[in-house]
Chain A
Amino acid sequence: MSMAAAPALAEQPARAQTARKGKPTKAPKNDLKPALLFILPAAIGFLVFFIYPAIKGFYYSFTDFELLGDANWVGLENYQTMLSDELFWNALWVTLEYVVINIGVQTLVALLLAVLMQRLTTSLLVRGVLLLPYLIANVVVALVWYWMCNQLIGIINIGLEAIGVEPQAFFGSPVLSIPTIALVNVWRYVGYTALLIFAGLQTIPPQLYEAAAIDGAGEVKAFFKITLPLLRPVLAMVLVVTITGSFQIFDTVAVTTAGGPVNATRVIYYYIYDLAFNRYHFGYASTLTVALFLILALVSFFQLKLMRADQTDLD
């Protein structure tokens, strides 16, 4: 693989290395003020839209707050209710099923696409097309797939019938609904994930592949011995971000199955929304969000630890 193959992106690491060599010594103190200035807009947004609501939500989780009423302190009552709430545990299982299918398929396909992009094509058009689904609003994606999957008149089922397969209620069947929703979101996010991984691939020095080729390693061996190990930190970041996002599946469910049939697609975020905004049990809904927060924090922490995301094998 020559540098010319991917000029724009491949040159960057090289440039960065030269820059590092000839780095002028700066007094770090001088950076503080402009740095704070640059952080300020983000910090304000973070404080106002994340930290403040988070603290308030944490407080509400100990109250019986109904959306338009007063909040009375009830201590740990909501947490006790939650532990014995069958729908909460059901929601966790349903969400987990979604995450496993969604992340599993998405990561594998994205990895494959990224490697293909790096090794086979440099076409900007291909990269653009891959990203296209990501640029469409989630609700639109969900609705279009929903219509195409209509068991009586959806185009997918008409196609299935044409080749002799029985029409399926993809969104309506308790067995198929979660896999269907998970795969619809794979379709939407896979290009984006592939691009993130592709960017990671660009940091792997091409000399390694050249050396491997000289030593007689094929594409497959190079992938498992060079690409995967060196991609680890990037993959870890991608997984943390996509898994966290995956746990928060909401919009696709909200505009299609609304939790049904029975409770087959009542994912945790939809259950929380339903409790808070349809049934006004804001206090109890806040309790569930605190639980979800703790679960996500733990998952992310162990992922980062296990995958040693803060270390690279390139240095």
Chain B
Amino acid sequence: MRLNQKITALVGIAALGVANLAGCSSSSNTGDPDTIDYWLWDANQVPQYQACADDFTKETGIKVKISQTAWNNLTTAMVSGTAPDVFTDHLNYFADFVNKKQIVDLQPYIDRDKLDMGQYYKGLADVWKFKDGHSYGLPKDWDTIAIIYNKKLVDEAGYSADEMNKLTWNPTDGGTYEKAIAHLSVDKNGKRGDEAGFDKDNVAVYGLALEDSGAGFSQEQFAPYFLTTGWTYTDKNPWGTKYNFSDKNYKDTIAWVRKMIEKGYMNTLETATSMGKNALESFGAGKFALVTKGDWMVSSYTALKDVEIGYAPTPIGPSGQRASLFNGLTDAITTSAENPDKAWEWVKYMGSAACQTKVASYGVVFPAVQEASDISQEAWAKEGIDTSAFTVQVEDGTTHLPPITDHYADILAKHQPVMDAILSGQQSVDALDAFNDEVNAMFK
């Protein structure tokens, strides 16, 4: 009997330990009304914003405390009343924050200070306007998608950089893009994907990497294809009320991806899941020839030791143009900010040419202020990175804005299992019909 009691006591102590741990989760909110708490989630961007903050404090005397923290902490902090004053916002979630009265309407401040919204790249600020037309964030950077390729593998396959820049794609036969990917795929016996006897079950190098099943915007994965077909996510943007996931162009694109997997030119979804839905390490080990990535991943890919990297723009589609989502981050002020006026000064400073020039000089992201864009290109060039594959989308005007609607989190949660099932071959693309009906029913 003693032992039972002992174990019970042990369990009790263990449980208490857990409880104590839970109670210890500290907040980074200083509670000091003179210091602005600022949260961002990208560790790569802390140094440049710290540099901005130092200049800002010198100019205005307002202190800023920067914390790098995971996005998920934010909602928890909002509920428990420990949210920061200012944070880097996420396009998918800002509407929820407005609906739930968690972030401040910036329009009165913009109007008061007569801030020139024309200084930003066209469209960047528009998607951050709520249904009432009021702005809830000032743009600070932008991103597009390009192909990152393994230079050695592409050279061996006999493709020149020029050819890589001119690839075309369509959902029916995949165009020259699919031909290149097929040729870049190599099986364990050294046979290429376009040769007879290619063993699709024993592939050594996949022509193109699949990272996940592409639910939601699919910004990096499938958007560069389906956006060239004339397809749009919703009936209008922003604040559409009808999604188009059951349209032919979307289905055809996804069906093409599925065919690529079946042919052994792309890895299976099982493999994608087993590699953490991230091709980086496997790309570094020479398992992939191409991967479509956003510019924010460039620094991670260039840091790979064993591979030399090349960049190409995404392929030209049926529309005769390339396509990329054009997305960016903004900063938002929480309704719990102790001093919203001072918080606004900080947000305004981060959205200014002064701060964005500084940020641009670190060569990690492209600044939202057009004035600062040359400086960022120079900074990238200094590291030997040619960013033209990313910027060509902006220069040619082939960027598309991500859809802003209500219910995004729910849509994503329902989209993912459907896309998983389609890409793993359990269901046909027609499974999207029922899903799309379910989504559109949410808006009624």
Contacts and interface: CB of A to CB of B under 8 A. Distances in A.
A278 B413 contact: yes
A226 interface: no
B285 interface: yes
Contacts of A147: 276
Contacts of B12: 42
A151 B275 contact: yes
Contact of B274 (A149, A263, A310): A149
B420 A169 contact: no
Q: Interface size bucket, B side?
A: 35 or more
Contact of A169 (B11, B271, B421): B271
B279 to A, nearest CB: 9
A8 B101 CA distance: 63
A260 B276 contact: no
A309 interface: yes
Interface in A226-276: 233-234, 237-238, 241, 256-257, 260-263, 274
B16 A233 contact: no
Contact of B23 (A49, A169, A315): A49
B287 interface: yes
B76 interface: yes
Given A277-B75, A279-B409, A152 B269 contact: no
- Interface of A, secondary structure class, is loop
Interface in B11-50: 11-13, 15-16, 19-20, 22-23
B270 A150 contact: no
A45 B19 contact: yes
Given A42-B16, A49-B19, A312-B1, A68 B79 contact: yes
Given A67-B75, A309-B4, A151 B270 contact: yes
Given A45-B20, A68-B79, A277-B75, A172 B3 contact: no
Contacts of A60: none
A162 B27 CA distance: 50
Nearest to B76: A277
Given A49-B22, A233-B4, A280-B96, A150 B276 contact: yes
Nearest to B101: A68
Contacts of B240: none
B314 interface: no
Interface stretch (A92-100, A196-204, A212-220): A196-204
Given A69-B100, A279-B413, A280-B409, A151 B11 contact: no
A197 B48 CA distance: 55
Contacts of B76: 277
B274 to A, nearest CB: 4
A172 B282 contact: no
Interface residues of A, number: 51
B441 interface: no
Contacts of A200: 3
B278 to A, nearest CB: 10
Interface in A5-42: 16, 41-42
Interface string B98-136: 001110000000000000000000000000000000000
A154 B282 CA distance: 9
B78 A68 contact: yes
B272 interface: yes
Contacts of A67: 75, 78-79, 100
B395 interface: no
- Interface of B, secondary structure class, is helix
B91 to A, nearest CB: 16
B444 interface: no
Contacts of B273: 169, 171-172, 177, 257, 260-261
B417 A260 contact: yes
Nearest to B279: A152
Interface in A73-89: none
A126 to B, nearest CB: 21
A152 B267 contact: yes
B4 A151 contact: no
Contacts, number: 129
Given A68-B75, A150-B275, A260 B413 contact: no
Nearest to A13: B2
A66 interface: yes
Interface in A47-81: 48-50, 66-69
A98 B175 CA distance: 45
B270 A152 contact: no
Given A50-B19, A279-B410, A280-B409, A263 B4 contact: no
A151 B271 contact: yes
Interface string B401-444: 00000000110010011001100101000000000000000000
B268 interface: yes
Interface in A125-165: 146-147, 149-154
B60 interface: no
Nearest to A202: B3
B172 interface: no
A153 B72 contact: no
Contacts of A146: 276
Contacts of A277: 72, 75-76
B415 to A, nearest CB: 12
B274 A203 contact: no
A189 interface: no
Contact of B270 (A41, A45, A69, A172): A172
Contacts of A152: 267, 271, 274-275, 282, 285, 287
Contact of A234 (B4, B410, B421): B4
Contact of B102 (A41, A68, A234, A310): A68
A312 B5 CA distance: 13
Interface in B123-152: none
A68 B99 CA distance: 9
B79 A274 contact: no
Contacts of B20: 45
A141 B441 CA distance: 42
Contacts of B271: 151-152, 169, 172
Contacts of B19: 45-46, 48-50
Contact of A241 (B11, B102, B274, B420): B11
B7 interface: yes
6 contacts: A42-B16, A153-B281, A153-B285, A169-B274, A280-B75, A309-B4
Top-4 shortest CB links A-B: A172-B273, A172-B270, A169-B270, A172-B274
Given A150-B276, A150-B282, 14 more contacts: A66-B100, A68-B100, A147-B276, A149-B274, A151-B270, A152-B274, A153-B285, A169-B274, A172-B272, A199-B6, A234-B7, A260-B273, A261-B424, A279-B409
